[in-house]
Amino acid sequence: MWNQRLFVGKRVLVTAGADGIGLEIARTFAAAGAKVLVCDVQQSALDRLAAATPEILGCLADVSNECDVSAMFDTLDQKLGGLDVLVNNAGVAGPTGGVETLSLVDWERTLAVNLTGQFLCVRSAIPRLRKSSDASIINLASAAGHLGMPGRSPYSASKWGVIGFTKTLAIELGAAGIRVNAILPGAVDGPRIRAVIAAKAEASGLPLEEVTRAYTSQASLGRMVTTADIANLVLFAASSLAGNISGQELVVDGNTQALS
Ligand SMILES: NC(=O)c1ccc[n+]([C@@H]2O[C@H](COP(=O)([O-])OP(=O)(O)OC[C@H]3O[C@@H](n4cnc5c(N)ncnc54)[C@H](O)[C@@H]3O)[C@@H](O)[C@H]2O)c1
């Protein structure tokens, strides 16, 4: 495999890595030889991770909480002794509904996790990444970070924000040799997207099957992507194979033309 052992000796932090896409990313880095620390807000998910994959280290932290992020980087220093790759994966779906129906609390929580969380982690990561000879930041955005997404305005706004943050960071950190890229997944098959589809069906009054069909047919390839698709792209973008790729929107969405 092209990615085999590409990350031996590298130190990788994956936020929200105890479940979902982050877990697949963490496992893929570990399989490629990296020392991996993940954080998560769910202790139960961290416990499952420790039992199933003890070589991946875990710590409890909410990326939107400044004190948690600071403590997480203390843990990172103790357990990994430095950082080569930061994967800002944590993100929440946010509320579903027309803008006029949304609460300020839900709007602010979505931005706090999806955008401010990346800011807090990047701010603490930069001094550590400056000491690495091959440093990279990967920010999880979404197809909703370059397309509009009716009914999901806080999510889409936060992910467009991730793109602006990524492109600006890539310029600011280029001279230090730190590459920064965004990954834009389309709908990823799994429990989270099924919950989003169910919420949309309920909000719109349409049958679940019809909303599911609308999700898959919006990609030219006619299917959702997998967590492995995302993890492989993250690994490539963070690797020396992508040594001259920075400031880019890397899309893995089956050629999604619109989001419903
Ligand atoms: N699932 C999709 O279809 C999809 C599509 C495009 C982009 N994305 C993006 O990919 C990333 C991962 O998505 P996912 O579907 O795996 O998410 P998920 O909802 O499955 O959550 C994964 C993990 O994130 C943790 N988490 C939630 N809030 C956190 C916080 N504040 N701090 C730390 N951990 C937190 C959860 O406890 C969970 O273990 C997100 O940024 C998401 O926006 C997902």
Instruction: Give the three-state DSSP class for 250.
Output: strand
- Contact (CB, 8 A) for 235 and 225: no
Residue-wise pLDDT tens digits, 206-246: 999 999 988 899 999 999 999 999 999 999 999 999 999 99
Helices (H), the chain: 20-31, 43-52, 66-79, 104-111, 117-129, 153-174, 191-204, 208-217, 227-238
Predicted local confidence at residue 214, as pLDDT: 86
Percent of the chain, pLDDT > 70?
Answer: 98
Predicted local confidence at residue 190, as pLDDT: 87
Our answer to whether residue 155 is catalytic in this structure is: yes
Q: Residue 1 pLDDT > 70, yes or no? A: no
The whole-angstrom separation of Cα 31 and Cα 29 is 5
Closest CA to 84 of 141, 39, 33: 33
Residue 170 C-alpha to ligand 1 middle, in angstroms?
23
Q: Residue 86 pLDDT > 60, yes or no? A: yes
CB of residue 39 inside a 6 A radius of ligand 1: yes
Tokens of 198: 């169910």
Residue-wise pLDDT tens digits, 102-157: 999 999 999 999 999 999 999 999 999 999 999 999 999 999 999 999 999 999 99
Predicted local confidence at residue 196, as pLDDT: 80
- Contact (CB, 8 A) for 77 and 12: no
Predicted local confidence at residue 3, as pLDDT: 55
Residue 66 C-alpha to ligand 1 middle, in angstroms?
19
Average pLDDT, the chain: 96
Q: Residue 184 pLDDT > 80, yes or no? A: yes
Work out the pLDDT band at 199, boundaries 50, 70, 90.
confident
The whole-angstrom separation of Cα 91 and Cα 196 is 14
36 strand-pairing partners: 12
Closest CA to 135 of 90, 170, 184: 170
Question: If you average pLDDT over residues 246-260, what whole number do you get?
Answer: 95
CB of residue 90 inside a 6 A radius of ligand 1: yes
Residue-wise pLDDT tens digits, 2-52: 557 899 999 999 999 999 999 999 999 999 999 999 999 999 999 999 999
From 7, 73, 155, 165, the catalytic residue: 155
Domains and CATH numbers, the chain: 11-187+226-252 (3.40.50.720)
